[in-house]
Chains A and B, each alone.
Chain A
């Protein structure tokens, strides 16, 4: 029954690689010839539909995609050039005609291949593109690559904020906090309530939401985690408590805010062109804020007395306590910082998606964990690097794999990295004994 360690490890590793190759291969192979119905999302009440014709000749097999409010779907036109897509809510959606699927020599001549559409009084809306003869301007692979890189950087940076908080909390308390997702959602929901429901000015709502998020971190620690630490509850039970908390909070949000996606003010900014890259001022602002926040945390950890104490507690809590550091106070502050960072990350994510929904944090929880693990559990700067890699990889991978599989790539990378370098990129090797 016994198999020698080195041999089984080798062939099993080969097995893993084979499996990953298989998945990727599948995605690639089928990505080339996607199987689509001409009618999708029939279960929803709201329907977009249209006919794709060139001089009254119907065009078959043209790819149409709809996205908005965190929802996306795509269909191909049928033999009559007809298509129909159902969507979950009565919001504004972006509808795109993939010009590469048009016959040669035919392009969208007027209005561009992207249309912003919203429903009128009815639940149906027809969307048509104006086609004609012409030469298509294609975005070169390099330009797409650069564009995606920037989007990825922006996403990676907002992930980094959440990951930093998670990593600091893990470092100082050893807790894998699954409820971190709900701390992310909290920031976005707080902004929504203040800026939309109470109609505060956006800048004031944002500041207040970040402060509230910090306070939320404080309350969670003071009300739940600190008492559990005092009871001497182990790390695994604490992790399961955080899972219960995550479930309870997430559905409480759904209970209070409902299941729909709502927009924050200012989410529909115009894009600016920088050569090949088109970015909205909001993207730039979001990246700027993220970078400032990351630098702020770095300054805190490296230069302030409290930050040094935080690192000392991360390294060795008992030794830190023995050298006169108030460990409980450090942990309390880490929760406040972690909460504020998560809240900020949630706000930026609400603009990035765009939209605020009750489970938005949960949608990226695994990516945050992947980033923290990739960088090295408990290393703050590893979390930032891990987040950038995850964000970048997710966006770049959509150049090759279907966009509804983009999270798969990041998670596969996580598993592959653990295979080669289990301690993560910046992590230290564990010492046994």
Chain B
């Protein structure tokens, strides 16, 4: 029989999981790019990879302290944003899309190649970089929480740090978007020539937006690796598209949408794939001959279909207002 209580418990864990926080932060960065400025960044996975590898390599190879490793990642993402932005931000929007997706694949291939195995660990990736972060943990050893939310001191510390960072990022983005800076940014989304004609250096603002959202993605990449190892295959373009799905789920030009979108995405995905896996095991899908491997794969098909349906039928997202339908034209 299918254990629905277990499915619900597993799904509930996702609400506060650091992975949900990481995706929320990456999606907030993408909201700044796509929802507010109208930049089509298809390389958010690349920014996350820079965070992950910047942190991992500085810690393992160069023995940097936590703050140093964070600075390396952030610095790396600023350089990456400049490299992407310089050739493309003067061009039509689709050029940025192609260049960002190409650049993030370049990064993934460089991180995967055997040639650089001694720093990147090639296809096996990196692990063993969590010591510095764990050492900062002020929480005494023990078991905390209740029910499905039971965890050890490291997991609690990680969750607190992750969600505090998300909260700070939300505050920053909220203040920026209600300032004159945000007004220029939103104006660029609507029509950059009009903003140019009003004497604003559009190129410069787009670059600032690209860097800011990219840094959010990079920090998200660091949160993402703290509960797991760094594996290059995680940073394929599919990651970027999952983040787009989250962004559009919550509403592209909203501040809280990315967070809500991330929570909904992970809770629903966990519930749906949990249900399919258990139902398959219980023999509910035998009539279409579904195997357990296929049960695991079906969730990606569902994500793809949800992404299509969202864009077609509810482009403003769950929380977006139809009137201010925040979608780039």
Contact = CB atoms under 8 A, between A and B. Distances in A.
Interface stretch (B64-72, B112-120, B217-225, B264-272): B112-120
B50 interface: no
B35 to A, nearest CB: 11
Interface stretch (A46-54, A142-150, A243-251, A289-297): A243-251
Given A237-B327, A243-B244, A251-B301, A35 B95 contact: no
Contacts of B95: 373, 418, 422
Nearest to B87: A419
A198 interface: no
A319 interface: no
Contacts of A23: 106, 110
Nearest to A227: B312
A322 interface: no
A7 interface: no
Contacts of A259: 293
Contact of B91 (A35, A37, A411, A422): A422
Contacts of A377: 94
A159 B109 CA distance: 20
Given A2-B201, A240-B311, A247-B300, A366 B102 contact: yes
Contacts of A26: 116
B307 A240 contact: yes
A176 interface: yes
Given A12-B86, A36-B114, A411-B103, A247 B98 contact: no
A237 B252 CA distance: 12
Contacts, number: 174
A244 B305 contact: yes
B241 interface: yes
Contacts of A35: 114-115, 117-118
B308 A245 contact: yes
B273 to A, nearest CB: 12
Max chain A C-beta neighbours (<10 A), residue from B87, B92, B293, B327? B87
Interface residues of B, number: 60
B115 to A, nearest CB: 5
Contacts of B79: 15, 19
B297 A254 contact: yes
A55 B195 CA distance: 78
A402 B115 contact: yes
Interface range on chain A (Cβ under 8 Å from partner): 35 or more
A411 B117 CA distance: 21
B94 A176 contact: yes
B82 interface: yes
B238 A408 contact: no
A433 interface: yes
A74 B123 CA distance: 13
Contacts of B328: 234, 236
A415 B115 contact: no
B150 interface: no
A366 B105 contact: yes
A414 B305 CA distance: 31
Contacts of B298: 251, 255
A177 B223 CA distance: 32
B99 A405 contact: no
A236 B329 contact: yes
Given A245-B304, A247-B304, A377-B94, A415 B103 contact: yes
A174 to B, nearest CB: 9
Interface in B79-111: 79, 82-83, 86-88, 90-95, 97-99, 101-103, 105-106, 109-110
A414 B99 contact: yes
A34 B118 CA distance: 9
A341 to B, nearest CB: 20
A324 to B, nearest CB: 29
A137 interface: no
B125 to A, nearest CB: 12
B106 A408 contact: yes
B203 interface: yes
8 contacts: A19-B83, A234-B328, A236-B327, A247-B238, A248-B303, A248-B305, A370-B102, A415-B102
Question: Which are the 3 A-B pairs with shortest beta-carbon distances?
Answer: A248-B304, A247-B304, A244-B307
Given A245-B308, A255-B301, 14 more contacts: A5-B201, A12-B82, A19-B79, A19-B83, A35-B117, A37-B117, A176-B98, A244-B311, A248-B305, A258-B293, A369-B98, A408-B106, A415-B87, A415-B103
